[in-house]
Chain A
Amino acid sequence: EPEVTQTPSHQVTQMGQEVILRCVPISNHLYFYWYRQILGQKVEFLVSFYNNEISEKSEIFDDQFSVERPDGSNFTLKIRSTKLEDSAMYFCASSPGQGQGYEQYFGPGTRLTVT
């Protein structure tokens, strides 16, 4: 069964460094998403992406964050200058369509630790 994959599974970085989290969505999906989950808290929406553009973003997704689909398969989340509070599990998701009822398929997550 097709699945969303994410690399790396765990990333440790120093405060102020740039990180890029990578995702490979399911191949025929057109809509891509990033979510994050701070330890012990709820899963929070960051951004949705379609047709090489951001469809919607949350207030969390500030100028320090960016997303890109550099080729036909990868979908990346970049954090330009990491802060301690960016430590979280980051989940990528994809869906074949957009609209209510289309479920989003989640990857296993990347645990980001900022020291």
Chain B
Amino acid sequence: AQSVTQLGSHVSVSEGALVLLRCNYSSSVPPYLFWYVQYPNQGLQLLLKYTSAATLVKGINGFEAEFKKSETSFHLTKPSAHMSDAAEYFCAVSDTGGFKTIFGAGTRLFVKA
């Protein structure tokens, strides 16, 4: 069965610093992976998705993620954090049949001035 594990429930960075949010997946088939962002009291917004076309995926708001099959990872990065990036980030994988999306536990990103 597909699953994702997010390392670190909380990450704190300074404004302007690199953002790195870690996600490892487990899948019996080539996975389709997603990163979603949730701002306080709001819904889930898709940041980016990996569907096997390219290993480096660029998303909105300057985020990108690299699919590494050898490491079963799909870490999310942003070169320079902005205060507005403070939110909860969820890594997710589509299940084999595509019937549902399986979410990780989430990582809350704090950005310090």
Residues of A in contact with B (beta carbons under 8 Å apart): 33, 35, 41-45, 48, 55-56, 58, 91, 93, 98-109
CB distance from A50 to the nearest CB of B (A): 9
Per the CB 8 Å criterion, the residue count for chain B at the interface is: 28
Contacting chain A: which of B62-70, B72-80, B89-97? B89-97
Q: Whole-angstrom distance from the CB of A24 to the nearest CB of chain B? A: 14
Cross-chain contact A43 with B94 (CB below 8 angstroms): no
Residues of B within 8 A of A48 (CB): 99-100
Query: With contacts A42-B104, A42-B105, A42-B106 known, is A101 near B98, CB below 8 A?
Result: yes
CB closest chain-A residue, reference B34: A103
Measured in the bound complex, the distance between the Cα atoms of B99 and A24 in whole Å is 19
Q: Are A108 and B99 in contact (CB under 8 A)?
A: no
Asked if A108 meets B100 with Cβ closer than 8 Å, knowing A42-B105, A101-B51, A103-B34, the reply is: no
Complex CA–CA separation, A108 to B98 (angstroms): 22
Least distance between B35 CB and chain A CB atoms (Å)? 11
Q: A33-B100, A45-B101 are in contact. Are A100 and B43 (CB under 8 A)?
A: no
**Interfacial chain A residues near B52, Cβ < 8 Å:** 101
| Cα distance A33–B43 in the bound complex, in angstroms | 14
Flag whether B103 is at the interface (Cβ < 8 A): yes
Which 3 A-B pairs rank lowest in CB-CB distance, beginning with the nearest?
Answer: A99-B98, A108-B43, A106-B44
B42 within 8 A of A: yes
B96-A100 in contact (CB<8A): yes
Q: Name the residue of chain B whose CB is nearest to the CB of A3.
A: B43
* Known pairs A43-B90, A100-B32; A107 contacts B100 (CB<8 A): no
The distance from the CB of B23 to the nearest CB of chain A, in whole angstroms, is: 13
The contact string, 1 if C-beta is below 8 Å from chain A, for chain B 32-61, is: 101010000011111001011000000000
Are A107 and B103 neighbours in the complex by a CB distance under 8 Å? no
How far does the Cβ of B55 sit from chain A's closest Cβ, in whole Å?
A: 15
A-B contact pairs, 20 of them (CB 8 A): A33-B101, A41-B105, A42-B90, A43-B90, A43-B106, A44-B103, A45-B100, A56-B99, A91-B44, A98-B97, A99-B98, A100-B32, A100-B95, A100-B97, A101-B32, A101-B49, A106-B36, A108-B42, A109-B42, A109-B43
